[in-house]
Structure 1
Amino acid sequence: MIDISLLFSLSLAGCTRLFQPNKPVTKAQVAVALATGEAFDLVNEELARIEAESMAEKAVSAHNALVAEVEKDVNASFEKELLIEKEKIDAVEKMAEEAMHELERLRAEREAENMALMKDRAAIDSEMEVLSRLRREVEEQLESLMNNKVETSYEKEAINKLRKETEDESQEVVRLQHELEVERKALSMARFDMDLCLSAQSINVTLVPS
């Protein structure tokens, strides 16, 4: 059995493992226990347990330190990966923003090109309308010229016919004038002959005695 005085002395120190297992045993308590000689086995057992607890605490501390180091490494790696992912996300967002700006620029250029094409198309339509109007006018003028040409041809034919008739009439007038001149000469000669006859008769009458 354990000596009552030993237990009492240990309890007075406030650190007995029997009644206060959560508090460490001091060296003084161990020395007292050894001096009695009656609690040697108990003290050895207590020391072995203390050593085991110390080793366990060291192991726990080492484990905690390892866990902390691992957590630190994991956190550092996670933060690094998070930073890398954030950089990737930032790069992607930047690329997306640049792509959006490029898309807006291309859209603005396309709208400007469409506006220019619409203006060009309107100008072409206007020119086509003007050309169509000019073509109609030219066709009308050509038709008028053709009609005028036909009329001119008819008029030319009529003029040629009238000219021929005029020439024929002129020739007829010339012929009549020639005939008239011939008749006039014939009449003049006949009158001259008549005058000669009358003169001769008058002379004959004068020469005949009464």
Structure 2
Amino acid sequence: MCIGNRPKVQMLSQNVCILDLRACPDVSPSMLIELMAGENSIISRVFGNTRRLQPHKPVTKAQAAAALTSGRMKEAIQEELNRLEADNQARLSVIAEITEELINRGDIQQQWEEKMKTEQERALEVDNNLQHVLDELANERADREEELAVLLKERAALERKNQELINLRLEVDGMYDRLATENEEVMADQQTLENQLSDMTSKHQAVNEAKSYLEAEKEALTMLRTWVEDEAAHVHERAETLEKALRRWRIPED
């Protein structure tokens, strides 16, 4: 089949500008005839002035719709649409006849009255249910209002407690400020006392040094007094000795 198609493909390649036609050796005769139709072909209507067949490339929905509404498919689709339209008209005629027959027999009026009665009963039931729901909502609303009143009282109590806490916090802050001031004063007094203690310590050290010096002086004076007393005793003894010596010396003269 491929060998028989080669002359046709070569001839078609000379008449139409399809670049990839040689890459499609299995082109069907109907495709060749379609390509020979030129601008009136379905391919031209669907793909326009194309230069490539690209048989493996998928088509879009618009291209598929254009292909289906062209050529023999257009006639087949039109025939199918005509058949469906005829069936629809026949069905509408049958429905009209059945409706007319039901109206003449009174079945539709009876069904309508039964349906209206059913709807009225349903509406009455709905009204009763609605009234019941409204009563429940009213009771629920009263309960919610009572709960709201209780919540408002609790909220007022909480606000009072909150205000008391705020006042207490302000008082505590004031006490804290006073304590901070007193702490600063105590620290200042403590610093003053430390300075005074340092001065007292310095003075005490000076007094101790003076006391030590005085004790040393006292001890020196005591030692000096002892030495003076000893010297005085020695002088007194010498004086007595000299006096005795003088007495002895004076006796021979008498």
Q: Calculate the TM-score normalised by the size of structure 1.
A: 0.58
Moved more, 197-206 or 90-99: 90-99
Please report how far the alpha carbon of residue 157 of structure 1 lies from its aligned counterpart in structure 2 after TM superposition.
Answer: 1.4
Correspondence 1:186 to 2:223: no
Given residue 81 of structure 1, which amino acid in structure 2 is its aligned partner? V
1:18 is matched with which residue? Answer: none
Q: 2: distance between equivalents of 1:202 and 1:120?
A: 115
**CA apart distance, 1:124:** 2.6
Which of 164, 170, 175 is the equivalent residue of 2:220? 175
- Partner residue, 1:158: 203
Q: Deviations 1:67-123 (Å, cap 9, x if unpaired)?
A: 999887765544333222111222223223322332332222222112112212222
Whole-angstrom distance in 2 between the partners of 1:74 and 1:170: 132
- Any residues of structure 2 matched to 1:40-59 within 5 Å, and which? none
Give 5+ residue unaligned stretches, structure 2: 1-110
Map Cα deviations across residues 11-32 of structure 1 (whole Å, 9 max, x no partner): xxxxxxxxxxxxxxxxxxxxxx
1:132 equivalent among 164, 177, 184: 177
Q: How many positions carry a matched residue from both structures?
A: 146
- Please identify runs of 4+ aligned residues in structure 1 that moved more than 4 A: 66-77
In structure 2, how many angstroms separate the alpha carbons of the residues matched to 1:71 and 1:205? 187
Is 1:122 matched up with 2:157? no
| Unaligned 5+ runs, structure 1 | 1-65
Aligned mates of 2:210, 2:115 — CA distance in 1? 135
In the alignment, what sits opposite 1:84? 129
> Where do 1:19-58 residues align within 5 Å?
none
Structural RMSD (CA):
3.0
Q: Over alpha carbons, which structure has the higher Rg?
A: 1
Q: Alpha-carbon deviation of 1:193?
A: 0.7
| TM-score, with structure 2 as normaliser | 0.49
* Partner Cα separation in structure 1 for residue 223 and residue 195 of structure 2: 41
Map of 1:104 onto structure 2: 149
For 2:250, the equivalent position in structure 1 comes to: 205
Q: Distance between the aligned counterparts of 1:191 and 1:67, measured in 2?
A: 172
Q: Deviations over 1:164-200 (max 9, x none)?
A: 1122012112202211221232122123212211221
Give distance in 2, aligned partners of 1:78 and 1:185. Answer: 149
CA separation of 1:188 and 1:67: change in aligned 2, threshold 3 A: closer
Q: Distance in 2 between matches of 1:74 and 1:205?
A: 182
Cα distance in 2 for residues equivalent to 1:78 and 1:157? 111
